[in-house]
Structure 1
Amino acid sequence: MPIKIDHHIQTLPATIPFVAPERTERETGKHFLARLGANENNLGCSPNAIDAMARIASQTVGQYADPENYSLRAALCQHLGIEMNNVVIGSGIDGLLGLIVRIFSSQRDIILTSAGAYPTFNYHVAAYDRTLKTVPYRDDHEDLGALAEAAQKLRPSIVYVSNPDNPMGTWWPAKDIEAFIDQVPEDTLIILDEAYGETAPEGTLPALDCSRPNLLRLRTFSKAYGIAGLRCGYAIGHSELISPFDKIRNHFGINAMAQAASEAALKDQEWLAQTVATNAAARDELSAIALKNGLTPIKSATNFVTIDCGQDGAFAMQVLNGLMERRIFVRKPMAPGLDRCIRVSTGKSDEIEQLSAVLPAVLESLK
């Protein structure tokens, strides 16, 4: 007899939320000239983080990492002004999302998000056999009013919102996020994904308040800090929300290099400030390229610019495919209403120059 596989797992398609650029390179036999699709920090990470990784590699890589992530948590607490029982480390926000769905909801529970928002969250919702409900974006923003209204009506176990947003790059000021939080029922857990918080303008992130019993805020070292390859993020919240993670998390899941590099990067705020400034300049450059080619950039608070291609989703997909064929890796939103756009990450100057050089030819070929 075959080995038993959970019935729900059998019903799911084998998939990943994002097709990696490496897969495309393998299938085409061609390397990309510009990697502008994965919202990575192409500038790299702090030299201090690199030194920390080198130290681990030469001295303690043969040892198990601290399963309590104590030193990194202590550094975060000092940086953020919170207590040790208000933060948990995870393998990036993606890993934390899976744990959150598992901990704070049960089979068939309703979980609420925006149609077209971060697809990895939906991936975990499906994997744990929860019921996904969505509301559409409004004016390229996650619709906080509609989300709050749906939460009041549906009483979901979890509601997810990101600020700044992926895939559109838009954001709400802190006062609007705070008003949204106040409108959500107290028995609904709010996931506030702040992956791009470091690149957002002042006044975007609400002040930290770990006394709220239904709010988890997620942050990462993958974006502005430039350590995506090591997979390290963290959740901030009330101690009663943080403590259940210790019941099911992979205690050795954050490797020694990730812990050391993240702590070193966190302490190098001068390097972070320089990176954020460079990122802002790159956003301006990408926006200028879009305008020069008759396209419309959407004002962004992230490390990417979403560009309205001016027609429908099919046309935007043609633009994306044309760039990919010319070895420029970008991605696009897929939800109706958002799919008229492509999304281009900030990158190094030579990568942006490659985009600028080939985009006119792509658009000309589609006339």
Structure 2
Amino acid sequence: MRSASWYGDPESYELRQTLSKLQGVPMQNILVGSGIDDLLGLVVRVFLNPGDVAVASAGTYPTFAYHVKGYGGQVHRVPYTDELHHDLTAIAYAARKREAKIIYLANPDNPSGTYYRGSDIKRFLDDVPNHCVVILDEAYIDFAPEDAKVQTEDPRLITMRTFSKAHGLAGTRIGYAICNSEIIDAFHKVRLHYGVNSIAQAGALASLNDREFVQSVVREVEQGRRDYKRLGAKLGLKTIESHTNFVCFDMGDAATARRTMNELLKRSVFVRRFDSPPFDRFIRVTVGSPVERKMFADIFEEVMHVTSMS
């Protein structure tokens, strides 16, 4: 690619211009970064001083806590509900009680796959203290029902999206944040200006102009989730109703989940398992292509037979 010899546009101007039209927000309210992980670090740098508190669900996407701890902050973790949803009431209460500077919320959630309606998130924002910003990680929003999207101009809300999932560009590392322009201005003071390469910007722009591809990915993932749910039922395993591109299988307890993961790894199948309860008893499996799903199903059935005999 000829443009690989050039630095990426530090303003991501063309990409932001297209995103502005698609999302219906001014360009000055959009910042492009090298994936959501990069953007999470910017929020922590801007809003958190050493010793300050951030609030997140216990067991949710761990990279946010990685940044908080790296910059000297503290993470207060709130347990999930029994239905494996974020406990929005408890999160807002913890933010008030501990004078938190940041709340992190993934919707749909990683690793559970559950989601809240946008109207629920909007009501949640009403309970959040004014001094606290809310990161809404919408990495999986393309796979969620339409009512998951939040309709609000709340200046405390920082919405993050990625090209890694439905757009298929995980390896290029590119995502974006939508928020108040004053927050964007603060990000510009600390961000790595040439951190998003030209290939990533070109790929993201092309993907935005190919909605049929994205829609085809979403449709295939929906079918894959149904396949995995049937597979779980066949094997006597409960699954969490997912609105992402993965499905969590309930293995019953942490030891069985760990043993299953290791047996799959011996057969060159990589799945996720988490150390934090309540997710330590689950394995999380990404929805692959039809061929990959068939291969996984065959191997998973074999592993279940092996683990049941041990």
- TM-score scaled to structure 2, two decimals? 0.97
Question: In the TM superposition, what is the alpha-carbon distance from 1:283 to its structure 2 partner?
Answer: 0.8
Distance across 1 between alignment mates of 2:302 and 2:220: 27
Q: Specify the alignment match of 1:358 in structure 2.
A: 299
Partner residue, 1:119: 62
Displacement of 1:292 after TM fit?
0.7
In structure 1, how many angstroms separate the alpha carbons of the residues matched to 2:126 and 2:275? 31
Residue 104 of structure 2 is matched in structure 1 by 160
Report the Cα distance in structure 2 between the residues aligned to 1:271 and 1:150, rounded to whole angstroms: 41
Matched residue, 1:220? 162
Matched, 1:197 2:138: no
Q: Distance in 1 between matches of 2:93 and 2:79?
A: 13
Q: Which residue of 1 aligns with 2:268?
A: 327
What is aligned with 1:188?
A: 132
Cα displacement (A) at 1:328: 1.1
Question: 1: CA distance between counterparts of 2:274 and 2:122?
Answer: 27
Which structure is higher in RCO with an 8 Å CA cutoff and minimum separation 6? 1
Counterpart of 1:284 in structure 2 is: 226
SS at match of 1:206: coil
Q: CA deviation at 1:364?
A: 1.8
On the 8 A contact 2:3/2:199 being kept in 1, the answer is no
Deviation at 1:333, TM superposition (A): 2.5
Number of matched pairs: 307
Report the Cα distance in structure 1 between the residues aligned to 2:25 and 2:292, rounded to whole angstroms: 39
**1:215 alignment partner AA:** L
Q: Counterparts of 2:301 and 2:221 in 1: how far apart (Å)?
A: 24
Identity, in percent, stands at: 43
Deviation digits for residues 5-55 of structure 1 (CA, Å, limit 9, x no counterpart): xxxxxxxxxxxxxxxxxxxxxxxxxxxxxxxxxxxxxxxxxxxxxxxxxxx
Q: Report how far residue 228 of structure 1 moved.
A: 0.4
> Which runs of 5 or more residues in structure 2 are unaligned?
none
Q: Is this contact kept in 2: 1:213–1:240, CA < 8 A?
A: no
Which SS does the other structure have where 1:342 is aligned? Answer: strand
1:54-99 superposed Cα distances (whole Å, 9 cap, x missing partner): xxx1x22212121111000000001101101101001100000011
- In the other structure, the counterpart of 2:3 is 60
Where does residue 301 of structure 1 map in the other structure? 243
CA distance in 1, matches of 2:125, 2:275: 27
Q: Give the partner amino acid of 1:66.
A: D
Of 202, 211, 234 in structure 2, the residue corresponding to residue 260 of structure 1 is 202
What secondary structure sits across from 1:134 in the alignment? Answer: strand
Q: Per the alignment, in what secondary structure is the counterpart of residue 297 of structure 2?
A: helix
SS at match of 1:248: coil
Query: SS state of the match for residue 366, structure 1?
Result: helix
Moved more, 227-236 or 262-271: 262-271
Structure 1: state its 5+ residue gaps. 1-56
Please give the root-mean-square deviation of Cα atoms over the aligned residues, in Å.
1.0
Which residue is equivalent to 1:95? 38
1:128 equivalent in structure 2:
71
Task: State the distance in 2 between where 1:148 and 1:205 align.
Answer: 20
Task: Supply the distance in 2 between the matched residues of 1:87 and 1:327 (Cα, whole angstroms).
Answer: 40
What are the superposed Cα offsets for residues 288-331 of structure 1, whole Å, 9 maximum, x if unpaired?
A: 1111111011100000001111x211111111111111111111
C-alpha contact (below 8 Å) 1:198/1:276 kept by paired residues = yes
| Distance across 2 between alignment mates of 1:257 and 1:338 | 36
Per the TM alignment, residue 334 of structure 1 is displaced from its structure 2 partner at its CA by 2.0
4+ runs deviating over 4 angstroms: none
Determine the C-alpha separation between the residues in 1 that align with 2:155 and 2:302.
53
Quote how far apart the aligned CAs of 1:345 are.
Answer: 0.4
